[in-house]
Structure 1
């Protein structure tokens, strides 16, 4: 691949499964979070769990041992605390332009960071300002105890970002070659993301491509797409700029 990838890649299947149940956007995030905590999933699982009524918990749940994997309830509570903290601007928006930052992942902090007690690190992305937030949440106290803000860090993509990247690529008028490849292989045009399997990874310009210099400051995603028969399509000549919602040619 021509630029630095930040793994794990995210599939769209968890988000689709959650949305099929009629859950809210917050609920979908909450459902997805269960797959991404504590290194329990690489981002390629299609399993999911529905928790409660779909709203993020605002009250402290029962807490596990300090280094035990985060429970669904703990994850949801951590997301709530991190995203509503005063360090996140009130006008923050997610990848679809809705109020509140995009939730990327939740996990236990690295041991090397020296945090004690029951804590979680939550990664968020604010599309209004193109800023990443790493929030360390003290679950016992119910507050953010450390914030790292970056205008260049590009954590792994969320499933919602992968969905939007795929949709933008299919609907683009940029005459992308992978759509032609799909039609040649399958005999029908590619008009809907459900026709393919795909994952997306954050993409950052590193001077090995002739274009895409904005990626790093802007939030960009590279897609890996395959047909139902397992044929991988060539998607390495472009990335999707999620900040501007436009296709960026890299070659």
Structure 2
């Protein structure tokens, strides 16, 4: 296994939007950080996914398409409709995604439980979760797919669901753009004889860096848990592993820190 790193903690700021002011450990949402494939309900795969979509389009919800029945998983049409409906409340355009673009970062969309007393065959609802990087807030909205209305909406700070593949891709991009990514590029060239110039040349996976699980947290990462921080594992496509586990990315502040 190629190794990139030392025992010294170093923080490196990466070009991009600055860190947010407040907050989010706790409840798990999107578990979609698998390297290949991934479910539509939770956001797809990581390492071999296509280029991430651009900033969230805050357009009107699409018309109803194919619908599931009862507790059937949400169809692709329902997933698209639920996300669009959840983006309609005022203020969504002012929120920020992981790249600093317009609209919050989508994390997961899941079928919501029926309300107490509702009979089977009642309205289908979806719970949609977003993360606003402008305020470091988790946003959860429940939409009624029959009426097209947002029935519940709430925000939380100090709650960090699992990372979405788009967040992991952005984290890898920040590593490659930082001085601390030099070792990753050298390991890639040693393994392949080629230059590493884009995230698409690597398989990657990962999840949140949770400070309460760590024995020694550098001061530069003290805000992780309030900020959204991730740790990656990477490898050459169909090839050798490249150890990036000692590089922690604070996606809120857009910095890369090496840990021991």
- TM-score norm. by structure 1 comes to 0.74
CA gap of 1:143–1:89, structure 2 versus 1, over 3 A, is: same
CA gap of 1:4–1:147, structure 2 versus 1, over 3 A, is: closer
CA RMSD after TM alignment? 3.3
Are the counterparts in 1 of residues 94 and 103 from structure 2 also a CA contact under 8 Å? yes
Any stretches of 5+ residues in structure 2 without a counterpart?
Answer: 1-24, 51-56
Tell me what 2:224 maps to: 215
Query: Which one scores higher on RCO, CA 8 angstroms, separation ≥ 6?
Result: 2
Are the counterparts in 2 of residues 95 and 242 from structure 1 also a CA contact under 8 Å? yes
**Following the alignment from structure 1 to structure 2, what is the Cα–Cα distance between the partners of residues 61 and 106?**
17
Tell me what 2:248 maps to: 239
CA gap of 1:128–1:10, structure 2 versus 1, over 3 A, is: same
Matched, 1:105 2:108: yes
Are the counterparts in 1 of residues 46 and 169 from structure 2 also a CA contact under 8 Å? no
Cα deviation, residue 96, structure 1 = 1.6
Tell me what 1:24 maps to: none
Which residue of the other structure, out of 126, 129, 132, is the alignment partner of 1:123?
Answer: 129
Tell me what 1:58 maps to: 62
Cα deviation, residue 67, structure 1 = 0.9
Cα deviation, residue 61, structure 1 = 3.8
Write the mapping of 1:158-169 to structure 2, written as runs, cut at 5 A: 158-169=164-175
- TM-score norm. by structure 2 comes to 0.71
**Following the alignment from structure 1 to structure 2, what is the Cα–Cα distance between the partners of residues 93 and 115?**
37
Query: CA offsets, 1:191-239, max 9 Å, x none?
Result: 2212211123232221513222211111122211111243222111121
Query: CA offsets, 1:96-144, max 9 Å, x none?
Result: 2221111111111357x85953011111011111111121111112122
**Following the alignment from structure 2 to structure 1, what is the Cα–Cα distance between the partners of residues 232 and 75?**
30
**Following the alignment from structure 1 to structure 2, what is the Cα–Cα distance between the partners of residues 115 and 222?**
43
Which residue of the other structure, out of 82, 85, 98, is the alignment partner of 2:86?
Answer: 82
Aligned length: 221
Tell me what 1:29 maps to: none
Tell me what 1:95 maps to: 98
Stretch deviating more after TM superposition (102-111 or 174-183): 174-183
More helix by share: 1
CA gap of 1:194–1:44, structure 2 versus 1, over 3 A, is: closer
Larger radius of gyration between Structure 1 and Structure 2? 2
Cα deviation, residue 153, structure 1 = 1.6
Any stretches of 5+ residues in structure 1 without a counterpart?
Answer: 15-33, 49-53
Which residue of the other structure, out of 63, 67, 71, is the alignment partner of 1:67?
Answer: 71
Tell me what 1:190 maps to: 196
- Runs of 4+ with deviation above 4 angstroms: 3-7, 11-14, 44-48, 113-116
**2:160 aligned counterpart, secondary structure:** coil
CA gap of 1:155–1:106, structure 2 versus 1, over 3 A, is: same
